[in-house]
Chain A
Amino acid sequence: MSQSATGVGASVRRKEDLRFITGKGQYTDDINLKDQAYAYFLRSPHAHAKIKSINTAKAAKMPGVAGIFTGQDIADSKLGGLICGWMIHSKDGSAMKAGPHPVLAQGKVRYVGDHVAVIIADTKEQAKAAAAAVQVSYEDLPHVVDASKAMKSKAQIHDVAPDNRVFNWGLGNEESTAAAFKNAAHVTTLNIVNNRLIPNAMEPRAAIGAYDSGTEGYTLYTTSQNPHVARLVISAFHGLAPEHKLRVIAPDVGGGFGSKIFIYAEEVVCVWASKHVGRPVKWTAERTESFLSDAHGRDHHTKAELAVDANGKITGLRVHTIASMGAYLSTFASCVPTYLYATLLSGQYNIPNVYAEVDAVYTNTSPVDAYRGAGRPEATYVVERLVETAARELKLDPAEFRRKNFVTQFPHQTPVIMTYDAGDYGAALDKALQINDYKNFAARKAESAKHGKLRGIGFSAYIEACGIAPSAAVGSLGAGVGLWESAEVRVNPVGSVEILTGSHSHGQGHETTFAQLVSEKLGVDINNVSIVHGDTDKVQFGMGTYGSRSGAVGMHALSKALDRVEAKAKKVAAHCMEASENDIEFKNGTFTVKGTDKKMAFGEVALQAYIAHKPGFEPGLKESAFHDPANFVFPAGVHICEVEVDPETGHTEVAAYTCVDDFGNLINPMIVEGQVQGGIAQGIGQALLEGCSYDDDSGQLLTGSYMDYAMPRARNMPAVENFKLGFTCTPCPTNPMGMKGCGEAGAIGSPPAVINAITNAIGVREIAMPATPLTVWQAMQASGAKKAAE
């Protein structure tokens, strides 16, 4: 690690901030094209219904209307449907049952918010007014919104799946795990619901499609985390245009959290319709549309069991999970409750036998896909609720029970695919206990009691697999794409540097961290480095940002390309200084000839590479690299949450929060801490506040605005002095930076810590998320905890 103020390891203030704090950011809705029209999507008011007829005649005559299109128009133009890019096979060998997912409904609607028609007009208001005049006749069908009831429901959502089951999948050794339970001294069983969440990036999704009849090409501006993947899918599967005739631009994007990975109907329709109406077509979601139609997260219903032997060693873990997929399979939906979930069920522990069985089911709800953590928060919640509950049942200290079962030898092969490469789980636990001041918890509890509050403490020792992902490995598991990354380094003649990366920043600060790596490796001032991303016409194919991959995978590609630039520059320097290439050394931005005082600055070498007045080398200084990771990376750490519960109201405050993470080496600690704090806020949100709710009877979304869906606010987070982060470091062996991913860890580790703290505070075994005041109060009434406090 360098000591430089802008190199690796320094908390450099962000280069991108200036435009955001002065209002100069350029998000998709800030872009306006000449003569653009506005799209409004007419959405289904029914959870499940046949479309008997659609009459657009009256609406078409409304002022300003440029075009109205329905599923019939989509079928007539043979526009392909939305796809799910990860094939899962059931235990019986059959392929997952993927129903058709047209961009505008054909014959039937399957959830409230499903796209029925698009109305395009001169203004937003005109499009909306005309939409109200479109007459649709529906015939209601039976519906089901609760995943746990889907397989027994009368509703049949897709013809291909008569029992609404997409797949019945298994991982691990069923027989050996059953034997472990048979021989166990103690078994802990929990029924766990991982509550359904709505991602709520603050920037609503938006798209502008524009057809250019002169070039016969399309441009799509969109709120995407992975514009090249969007281009590939829209080209190859929707068949709109070949890739070289489709430019996808994802400019500044206001948060993603997974919800902007996926290819959505609206963006495909805007591109397609722009040719039909002969004008650019713009759509920006209203917040309620985001609630209705962004892919949701979680929604797992699990029976979880843990087997422990007489020595307190965990011998087995078994789950049966029903996972909601919503009404259609979204882009990566199928991998979330399978390979991103069950592969982490060994946690940080040496568990010889693990078995997971997963039924993925259709429901009449918005599609469910990856949301910050994607499968790994669900796994961590299962493991850490089981482990904490088992420790309490066995009257063991929850920290020491964990320590006793930690993996301590690396590499460690789990029974569920993953090979953990490096870690020191005991070190993170020690540090967390020390920062939390665990030994004085009893005194804090007594102090809280003096104020009439019930104080509780909860642990979570999470591990996750990110840096997604080795292409061959995911390919063998069903992924339709490789998950490598690319980078290009263009050194300009005067020595400034442009980086073109396939990673995409929507809050992660790549313009700073990627520049820090360049500064570290080439000795160039970070102000002389610019980062270009999010435009398929500028950047070579790349896979985008999700799964905490931009550091471990994206920066690894960049590191490789920078090495190639250095190698080429050494050739040029050797030539210019009339030395052997082997004698050239490069340090702090200067090339020297070993054993002499000859030297050239990086900028001088760049200039010589371009003016090329001295023949003998290929002019120019530009290199690129593709990098495919050798393994996932495995961030791990310990969260300790302390809550205070008001026994009168059931209100829960997060009184103190400690989190110690091992992310390997850090490029920019300030940015890493920001990622962790934000992730933990989402986890506290899941545990205490957030819960997507559909009405069983009507199938309507009950949480369709910020008045009904409780987002974490500033006052829901622990006070600054009580929110403490720490780091341990075991460098990752599979990338030269020694980094692990940090983007999702906070959201993965935190929910069980909060719930373990509440159950500890009020002395109950189980409590559902979100643990709202009502839920907590009712749990206390049922258990008599309130009485005990009095």
Chain B
Amino acid sequence: MPSITIKLNGKAVSGEVEGRTLLVEFIRDHRGLTGTHVGCDTSQCGACVVHVNGKAVKSCTTLAAACDGAEVTTVEGLAKGTELHPMQAAFKEHHGLQCGFCTPGMIMAAIDIVKRNGKNVSEEVIRRELSGNICRCTGYHNIVKAVQAGAQNM
């Protein structure tokens, strides 16, 4: 089994993985970070979105072995101590979550959207770029508002 080393939320971690081990399995099962969720297994729902080398990636369709040497950030790695990331704070302030299951993936995707499109990202762009993240609770209304507000504070 290949051994991999990943900088996970700023800390180097190593582990042996099978060739077929998915990044989300490495994060959840090997490292016990259960904030990253699996809502489908076909790369559609986005509950598993993490950042690999700063870019949003669906960890349910990424092989762990392919991330050897990469920097991976999960939702657990966003806050600085008790200080929330502006996007996390915006989701709370704007009621951008209900059951919370899609939320980690939404927040990770939202940060990536803002990084690529800037602080003043339009509602239209946010809606289009969230196509790969499904929420069944909120109707997206407050998620869109949260992303716009979070963008202003990033």
Residues of A within 8 A of B (CB): 13-14, 16-27, 29-30, 125, 200-204, 252-255, 257, 284, 286-288, 506-509, 670-671, 673-674, 677-682, 705-707, 711-715, 717, 719-720, 723, 746
Contacts and interface: CB of A to CB of B under 8 A. Distances in A.
B114 to A, nearest CB: 15
A387 to B, nearest CB: 26
B41 A287 contact: yes
A706 B44 contact: yes
Contacts of B140: 681, 712-714, 717
Contact of A711 (B78, B95, B134): B134
Given A202-B137, A674-B98, 6 more contacts: A20-B97, A20-B100, A21-B97, A22-B35, A26-B34, A253-B99
Nearest to B142: A674
A23 B36 contact: yes
A26 B33 CA distance: 11
B123 A719 contact: yes
B111 to A, nearest CB: 12
B75 A23 contact: yes
B136 A202 contact: yes
A202 B99 contact: yes
Contact of B99 (A255, A286, A680): A255
A25 B100 contact: yes
B8 to A, nearest CB: 13
B47 A202 contact: yes
Sorted nearest first, the 7 A-B pairs with minimum C-beta distance are: A23-B35, A254-B101, A20-B100, A681-B139, A507-B99, A706-B44, A507-B98
11 contacts: A22-B84, A24-B76, A202-B99, A203-B39, A254-B39, A255-B98, A287-B45, A507-B137, A509-B98, A677-B142, A720-B123
B42 A202 contact: no
Contact of A255 (B76, B93, B137): B137
B45 A706 contact: yes
A628 B136 CA distance: 31
Interface of B: 20, 28, 33-42, 44-45, 47, 74-76, 78-79, 84, 88, 91-93, 95, 97-104, 107, 123, 126-128, 130-131, 133-145
What secondary structure prevails in chain B residues at the interface with A? loop
A386 B110 CA distance: 43
A714 B100 contact: no
A201 B47 CA distance: 12
Contacts of B84: 21-22
A201 B126 CA distance: 23
A678 B35 contact: no
B98 A720 contact: no
Contacts of B34: 23, 26-27, 29-30
Contacts of B143: 714
A508 B84 CA distance: 23
Contacts of B103: 20-21
Nearest to A372: B136
A200 B131 contact: no
A511 B141 CA distance: 22
Contacts of B42: 287, 705-707
A705 B144 CA distance: 25
A450 B62 CA distance: 47
A746 B98 CA distance: 15
Contacts of A286: 41
Contact of A678 (B33, B41, B139): B139
A30 B32 CA distance: 8
B97 A715 contact: no
Given A22-B76, A24-B35, A13 B93 contact: yes
A602 to B, nearest CB: 28
Nearest to B147: A714
Contact of B136 (A13, A711, A717): A711
Contacts of B142: 674, 677
A533 B78 CA distance: 29
A714 B126 contact: yes
A670 B104 CA distance: 21
Nearest to B101: A254
Contacts of B45: 202, 287, 706
A679 B136 CA distance: 9
Nearest to B139: A681
Nearest to B140: A714
Given A203-B39, A255-B136, A706-B40, A21 B91 contact: yes
A203 B100 CA distance: 9
Contacts of A16: 100
B99 A13 contact: no
Given A22-B75, A255-B136, A678-B138, A287 B97 contact: no
Contact of A720 (B36, B40, B76, B144): B144
A254 B45 CA distance: 14
Nearest to A253: B99
A673 B142 CA distance: 10
Nearest to A505: B99
Interface centre among B126, B135, B136, B141 (most CB of A within 10 A): B136
Contacts of B104: 20-21, 23
B99 A21 contact: no
B44 A705 contact: yes
Nearest to B33: A23
Nearest to B36: A23
Contacts of A712: 139-140
Contacts of A680: 139
Given A13-B92, A13-B95, A680-B139, A21 B131 contact: no
B151 to A, nearest CB: 14
Contacts of A681: 138-140
Contacts of A254: 37, 39, 99-102
Nearest to A679: B139
Nearest to A680: B139
Given A255-B101, A723-B141, A714 B91 contact: no
Nearest to A711: B134
B75 A674 contact: no
Given A22-B35, A24-B35, A29-B38, A678 B127 contact: no
Contacts of A26: 34
Nearest to B132: A713
A200 B136 contact: yes
A726 B104 CA distance: 30
Interface centre among A508, A670, A674, A707 (most CB of B within 10 A): A674
B101 A27 contact: yes
B41 A17 contact: no
Contacts of B130: 713-715
A288 B44 CA distance: 12
A201 B134 CA distance: 10
Given A287-B41, A705-B40, A705-B42, A201 B141 contact: no
Contacts of B40: 287, 705-706
Nearest to A508: B98
Contacts of B131: 713-715
A667 to B, nearest CB: 14
Contacts of A200: 136
A203 B97 contact: no
Contacts of A678: 98, 136-139
B138 A17 contact: no
A255 B135 CA distance: 10
Contacts of A23: 33-36, 74-76, 104
A516 to B, nearest CB: 14
Contacts of A717: 127, 139-141
A674 B91 contact: no
Contact of A17 (B37, B97, B134): B97
Contacts of A19: 100
Nearest to A288: B41
A5 B84 CA distance: 23
Contacts of A506: 99
A711 B91 CA distance: 22
Nearest to B97: A20
